[in-house]
Amino acid sequence: MRAALSVAPSGVAGQGRAMWFQKPFFAWIAIGAMGLLALAATIDLTFLKGLPEAPDLPDPVLRLLAITQPFVLMAAGTALGVLLSGKVGLTSWLTARLRGEPARFPSPVLPVAAGLVGGILIALADRWFYHVYSGGETPGTALPTLMQGLAAITYGGIVEELMLRYGLLTLMFWAAWKLSGRVPGPVLGTMLVIVVALLFGLGHLPAMAVTAPLDAAIAIRTILLNAVLGVLYGLFYWKRGLEAGMMAHMASHPGLWIGLSLF
C-alpha–C-alpha distance, residues 173 and 98, integer Å: 23
- Give me the mean pLDDT over the 155-181 stretch: 98
Residue 192 has pLDDT above 70, yes or no: yes
126, containing H or E segment = helix 109-133
pTM of the model: 0.91
Percent of the chain residues topping a pLDDT of 70: 92
Phi, psi (rounded to 5 degrees) for 44: -80, 100
**Does residue 60 belong to any structural domain of this protein?**
yes
Residue 89 DSSP one-character state: T
C-alpha–C-alpha distance, residues 176 and 144, integer Å: 40
Residue 3 has a pLDDT of 44
The angle, 0 to 180 degrees and rounded to 10, between the axes of the packed helices 186-202 and 216-240 is 140
Residue 46 has pLDDT above 90, yes or no: no
Percent of the chain residues topping a pLDDT of 90: 77
**Does residue 8 belong to any structural domain of this protein?**
no
Average per-residue pLDDT for the chain: 92
Q: Are 198 and 230 contacting, i.e. CB atoms less than 8 angstroms apart?
A: yes
- Indicate the number of domains in the chain: 1
Distance, first Cα to last Cα, the chain: 46
C-alpha–C-alpha distance, residues 36 and 221, integer Å: 26
Interval 207-258: pLDDT, tens: 888 877 889 999 999 999 999 999 999 999 999 999 999 999 999 999 999 9
Residue 2 has a pLDDT of 40
Q: Are 78 and 23 contacting, i.e. CB atoms less than 8 angstroms apart?
A: no
Higher pLDDT, 170 or 11: 170
Q: Residue 4: pLDDT band by 50, 70, 90 thresholds?
A: very low
Residue 9 has pLDDT above 70, yes or no: no
What is the 3-class SS of 188-242, one letter each residue? HHHHHHHHHHHHHHHCCHHHHHHHCCCCHHHHHHHHHHHHHHHHHHHHHHHHHCH
Residue 8 has a pLDDT of 61
Residue 201 has a pLDDT of 97
**Does residue 9 belong to any structural domain of this protein?**
no
Residue 169 has pLDDT above 50, yes or no: yes
Q: Residue 7: pLDDT band by 50, 70, 90 thresholds?
A: low
Residue 134 has a pLDDT of 83
Which residue range forms the structural domain that includes residue 67? 14-262
**Does residue 208 belong to any structural domain of this protein?**
yes
Residue 193 has a pLDDT of 99
**Does residue 2 belong to any structural domain of this protein?**
no
Interval 68-93: pLDDT, tens: 999 999 999 999 999 999 999 999 99
C-alpha–C-alpha distance, residues 163 and 29, integer Å: 11
Q: Residue 118: pLDDT band by 50, 70, 90 thresholds?
A: very high
**Does residue 146 belong to any structural domain of this protein?**
yes
Region of residue 181 (phi > 0: left; psi between -120 and 50: alpha; otherwise: beta): left
Query: CB neighbours of 84 closer than 8 A, spacing ≥ 6?
Result: 170, 171, 173, 174
Residue 16 has pLDDT above 90, yes or no: no
Residue 52 has pLDDT above 80, yes or no: no
Maximal CA-CA distance, the chain: 67
**Does residue 5 belong to any structural domain of this protein?**
no
Lowest mean pLDDT among 22-26, 52-56, 112-116: 52-56
Residue type, position 91, single letter: T
**Does residue 227 belong to any structural domain of this protein?**
yes
